[in-house]
Homo-oligomer: A and B are copies of this chain.
């Protein structure tokens, strides 16, 4: 047992001992969302130091939540995969996320804008169903942001594999999305919609009319976007 123990037999206490240390819940969120490799996990928790990430992964392993094994395809690369106990943490993440969506105010939330997290989340949840049978390239432009984070390309290949680039992949662009980071994040979180943002001209679409009309559908939202916010 860890020295930091609560010394309580209560199941809540025993679980919290592992789960409620700094960064751990976000790390579990990334694992539940499907990330398995060290640097993928790191992208999901970019402000966590790699030393602490490494320690937390060892902690989760010894708690029986993940298993560290060599990747099947690349034996020199490690993968962290959820065990049955880890997979069963999904309801915990969902309960916390639902509470956060309902009760954490929008204002402090929207002080934490981050284009990298947003774009990777969008990539992860993109709905390829409304896409055609040929490749679709969508360019996002945040004019307010510094060069490195200003322009992004989302590419849906014919086999429905989704790719994200921050350097021009050279493909013809089917749809240009020009907006600001706050507006795009509000839409992602379900606090606004594509239609509302277009009305207010905070989001401008140019290009393929089909992709334009279908944006609210192909843009997969946050898993918690459907939960109604109660706090202001």
Contact = CB atoms under 8 A, between A and B. Distances in A.
Interface in A97-135: 97-104, 108-114, 117-118, 121
Residue in A13, A102, A110, A118 with the greatest tally of chain B CB atoms within 10 Å: A13
Contact of A89 (B1, B11, B94, B99): B99
Interface in A1-53: 1, 4-16, 19-26, 29, 45, 47
B7 A108 contact: no
23 contacts: A6-B23, A6-B45, A6-B47, A7-B114, A8-B112, A8-B117, A9-B110, A9-B113, A9-B117, A10-B26, A11-B96, A12-B93, A14-B104, A14-B112, A15-B97, A15-B99, A19-B20, A20-B21, A88-B102, A91-B99, A92-B92, A94-B95, A95-B96
Interface of A: 1, 4-16, 19-26, 29, 45, 47, 64, 84-85, 88-89, 91-104, 108-114, 117-118, 121, 185, 189, 222, 224, 227, 230-231
